[in-house]
Each structure stands twice: as C-alpha cells, then as structure tokens.
Structure 1
Amino acid sequence: MRTTTYESPLRAEQMEQTRLRILEATADVLADEEVNEVTVPLVAVRARVSVRTVYRHFPTKEALFDEFGEWAEEHLRVVLLSYPDTLEGVREMAPALYRMYDERAPLIRALLSKRGQEIRARTRRRRLATFEKAMREVTDGLGPAERRRALGVIYLLVSAPAWQAMREQWDLEGQEAGKAAAWAVRVLTDELRRNPASMKEVGNDDTRR
C-alpha cells in the first residue's frame, strides 16, 4: 500500500518564518561590534530558538553564512528592483540606494562588519560584472590601469562604505549623502565622456613629480 506524505501549509509557513528569524538574528550578531566571534549558539539566542533548530535549517555554520549572504543580496535587490546595468542607471541610483541604506541600516552594518564582508565577497564578482557592463560607455577607451582607477572610484561612490563614511564622519542622512554621491558620479562620468584622457593625465602628473 502506497502512502503519501502530507505537508501542512501552516507548518511550512512556520518553518519559513523561523528560517527568516535566524537570518535576521545573524545580521544582528554580525552588526554587534561587541561580538568577537559569530557562533551558532549566539545566533540561536538572538533568534530565540534552540541550537538544534538552527542546525535543522542550516547543517553547518558555513551553510548559515552562505544562506545569509544570498538572503542579504536578494533582500537588497528586491528593495532596489534591480541592479542597474546601464550608465544612466548608475548615474541615477545613488539617492534611492542611500535611502535604502538608511532604511536597512542594521543589515548594511552587518554586511560591513569584518565577517559580513567575507560573506558578501562570495557574490562580489556578480555585482562587479554588472557594474562594469554599465560603465563600458565611458571606460572602453581607457587603458587597463586608467579603467581600473575610474571603475574603483565610481563604484566606491555607490557602495555602502561611502554611505557609512558620510553618515558617521559628516552626519549626513541617506537623502543628503545620496545627493552628494549622485553629483560626484555625474561629474566624473561627464568628465570621462568629455575627456577620457584626463584619467591618463592624472597618472602622468604623478610620474613627473
């Protein structure tokens, strides 16, 4: 006689809620500057579940970190709808991005922690590939060194570390910091359009000193 397994929708929903609570607790622990080491027992305490429950959802600590990284990236992508893959998208993204950083400050602080950056590094290649595609219009004519410098400084302006620096060092809220970042991105990309050689001139100035 063949038996069928019935999965209760309510139980599935409860398990998903528990999984999300564990991931949110992981963000909380990562963002806590007083925590020296992120452990499964500590995450369990913050999530108000047993250690066994954590391991039921995530067999190892590395599995938990992997899932957290994917969850964080997807969570931020949903807020932004999509990562821009055009230059105009990059030029316009800073205000919404910085506002989202403010609204999701605990999660962003978690990703900026030492361990959080290690986790986020696992998805960095995908983000950089999208950004580089968007910037091709103004970087294709540059040499490898100049192109890398241009990409580096503009990417910094649309990243969480820039938001954190402007917030903590200059007391700028996300809206104002986003305006500043957007202005800087426009100025730099306009200059690259107008005079791509300006990036090379910076390097030449350095060598003449």
Structure 2
Amino acid sequence: MDESNKRKTYTSELRNRQKEQTRDLIMESVTSIIAEGRIHNFSVQDVADRAGISYGSMYRHFSTREALLESLFAWSDEKLLSQVQIIPKTLDEIPETTQKKMVALEDYPEHAIATVRTLTAMNIIPESVLAKDEKFHKIITGELPSLDTDFARQAASVIRYLSSSVFWMHLTTRFGFGPDEYSSAVTWALETLIKDLKARNEEQS
C-alpha cells in the first residue's frame, strides 16, 4: 500500500472512531435526560447541550427527536448486550438466553430502564424488536408444528414477553426482584411453558 492510500485509510478509520464516539456521547446524554424523567419534554438541542456538541454535529447524527429515540434501543442492545447471546436458536435455549440477557442488563440498569420506558411511553417498536418477535414465532412453529396456528402465535407472544427487557424492568422496579430472584422466576416460567407446549404438540400430532 502506498503512502497516499495509507493516509486515506488512517483518516477513514479515525473519522469512523470519532463518529462512533460522538454517537455514544449522544446516546449517553439522552439516556441521562430520560433517567431524570424527561421522556416527553426534551429537544434535540437539549441533548446536544448535554453532550457538549454543536447542534450541527447533533443534526448530522439524528435530525429529529424521533430518530434519536428509535436509535436508543439498537444502541442499548449493541452496548449493553454485545457480549451475550440473546437470540435463541432453539426452544430449549430460550430460558438460558433470557437469563443471560437479564443478568447483563443488571450491569447497566439506568440505560436499560431508560430505553424500555422511552419505547413504552412513545409507543415505539423498533425494527429489531419486530425481528426478534418473528424469530420466536418461527422457533415455536418450526419445532411444534402440530400446535393450532392461533395458539402458537399466542404462546410465542407470551414467551417473547417473558424474555423481554420490559418484563425484566417490571420485575426489578415494580416487584423489587434481584438477579437471583428474577433469574429463578423467569427460568421456571419459561421451562414450565415450554414443557406444556411440547406436551400439547405431542397430543395433537
């Protein structure tokens, strides 16, 4: 590689790192604002001020408040759960992946709770959430083909909720569950449901 290409590559990598650092700073700032209870009454300018960047820089990343909020969930997944396998490949993997996810969320509770509360309050359903919903549905219909179609959809929805960040937040903030308690409770609930679904599938096959 000649010197010109080396400089271009270095410059490109530097810009990408700077862009990622700015994005992280923005997300951290909006998280702290939401944690203060300001879900509905903050602006893009408020986030820029909190992050210590210009409105122009902020606008290049997120031109609207809605775009900012929709990106919050994906960023949280990426940063909070990057070391954890949270998408099961089989029905039997669901309890274990859910437990790992919930324990990982405990390391960053402010971020996780702020994200969940924002999505709920603003009625935002990111594409990544819909994709996970579909993944759970495909697992159940694929492994339990004899279940009634409507019942399989209902079962997938319940299992998906039990494995979600929303359910984790309810257990921790409403009921005061700690890691051992919610891990045990969720594992028991999911294993019980999966066992029942397998039995129903056998009966109907």
1:127 paired with 2:132, answer yes
1:37 paired with 2:41, answer yes
Task: Report the Cα distance in structure 1 between the residues aligned to 2:88 and 2:28, rounded to whole angstroms.
Answer: 26
What is the Cα deviation at residue 13 of structure 1?
3.2
What is the Cα deviation at residue 50 of structure 1?
2.6
Task: Report the Cα distance in structure 2 between the residues aligned to 1:8 and 1:150, rounded to whole angstroms.
Answer: 47
Cα gap change, 1:41 to 1:171, in 2 (>3 Å): same
Task: Report the Cα distance in structure 1 between the residues aligned to 2:132 and 2:20, rounded to whole angstroms.
Answer: 27
What is the TM-score normalised by the length of structure 2? Answer: 0.79
Amino acid paired to 1:165: H
Match for residue 104 of structure 1? 108
Contact 1:22 1:47 in 2 (8 A): yes
SS at match of 2:146: coil
Size of the aligned set, in residue pairs, is 197
Q: 1:164 aligns with which of 158, 166, 169?
A: 169
Task: Report the Cα distance in structure 1 between the residues aligned to 2:132 and 2:185, rounded to whole angstroms.
Answer: 22
1:149 paired with 2:167, answer no
Task: Report the Cα distance in structure 1 between the residues aligned to 2:171 and 2:64, rounded to whole angstroms.
Answer: 37
Task: Report the Cα distance in structure 2 between the residues aligned to 1:85 and 1:161, rounded to whole angstroms.
Answer: 21
1:90 paired with 2:94, answer yes
Contact 1:77 1:83 in 2 (8 A): no
Task: Report the Cα distance in structure 2 between the residues aligned to 1:86 and 1:76, rounded to whole angstroms.
Answer: 23
What is the Cα deviation at residue 128 of structure 1?
1.0
Match for residue 25 of structure 1? 29
Q: 1:185 aligns with which of 187, 190, 193?
A: 190
Amino acid paired to 1:86: T
What is the CA deviation profile of residues 72-115 of structure 1, one whole-angstrom value per residue up to 9, with x for unaligned ones? 33334513235112112113223212111211212221221244
Cα gap change, 1:148 to 1:32, in 2 (>3 Å): farther
What is the Cα deviation at residue 173 of structure 1?
1.0
Runs of 5+ unmatched residues, structure 2:
none
What is the Cα deviation at residue 140 of structure 1?
2.4
Runs of 5+ unmatched residues, structure 1:
199-209
Cα gap change, 1:82 to 1:156, in 2 (>3 Å): closer
What is the CA deviation profile of residues 23-68 of structure 1, one whole-angstrom value per residue up to 9, with x for unaligned ones? 2212223343244323111211222223232123334434434443
What is the Cα deviation at residue 15 of structure 1?
3.7
Alignment of 1:42-57 (within 5 A): 42-57=46-61
Contact 1:157 1:185 in 2 (8 A): yes
Deviates most, 5-14 or 128-137: 5-14
Task: Report the Cα distance in structure 2 between the residues aligned to 1:138 and 1:12, rounded to whole angstroms.
Answer: 42
What is the TM-score normalised by the length of structure 1? Answer: 0.77
RMSD of Structure 2 on Structure 1 (CA):
3.0
In percent, how many aligned pairs have the same letter? 26
